[in-house]
Amino acid sequence: MAVNTEAYNTISKELAEKHVTLVAVSKTKPAEDIEAMYNLGQRDFGENYVQELVDKQAQLPKDIRWHFIGHLQSNKVKMIAPFVHLIHGVDSLKLLQEINKQAAKAGRIINCLLQVHIAQEETKFGFDEETLMATNVNELHQLANVRVIGLMGMASFTEDKEKVRGEFRLLKSLYDKFSAGQPDGQKLSVLSMGMSGDYAIAVSEGSTMVRIGSLLFGAREYVK
């Protein structure tokens, strides 16, 4: 069994005390590992690849809340629309419209986070600050089958903790600004930031949801 029970117990307790939601990132890990952590009480799991998520969802307990945290292609939205709990990586309005369409077909309202590009690295997807702030929130609220409940971001992959802290601080400030621009009663509630290497910094900068994989499940053997 590859689950690090001790780390899970320590981290989940620490986060619960701070009212931060723990999403256990189980990508590339077998269903047995997820089941083992489920038996420790974990219910929120994150996956990056659509087919892998669909396969695991079919095999595992139905009260698991599945988070899609990867880069989502429009043509695959329909595969996860019937059950996904939260889509973290919405990086365009076009994708949001497709999620809305597939959610309507599935008779659901799907919660989504807009992904914001905060790292200086080229490879990260997401809205930049300007595009996010120029987004017409009324347009978002017209999509009846999606609910944008927050923002998600990834810091640079670096040992430079002050750089990481600065990027999380920027995302928190964008979150506060974007939240303030929402219609009454529709303030954002989820700020998804922090992974194994930087979650403590993220939490101290105001994260409400962290996505932790390798600290809980051990290092991944391959990266897709």
Ligand X SMILES: *Cc1c(COP(=O)(O)O)cnc(C)c1O
150 makes contact with ligand X (CB under 6 A):
no
Contact pick of 12, 42, 48, 207 for ligand X (by CB under 6 A): 48
27 makes contact with ligand X (CB under 6 A):
yes
Instruction: Please identify, among the stretches 128-136, 159-167, 182-190, 191-199, the one whose residues bind ligand X according to the rule CB under 6 A.
Output: 191-199
Burial (0-12, 13-18, 19+ Cβ within 10 Å), 201: buried
Q: Which is nearer to ligand X, 143 or 168 (CB)?
A: 168
Instruction: Please report how close the Cβ of residue 219 comes to ligand X at its closest, in angstroms.
Output: 8
211 makes contact with ligand X (CB under 6 A):
yes
213 makes contact with ligand X (CB under 6 A):
yes
Total number of residues that touch ligand X (CB under 6 A) = 14
Contact pick of 78, 169, 196, 206 for ligand X (by CB under 6 A): 196
69 makes contact with ligand X (CB under 6 A):
yes
> Where does this chain bind ligand X (CB under 6 A)?
25, 27, 48, 69-70, 154, 195-197, 211-215
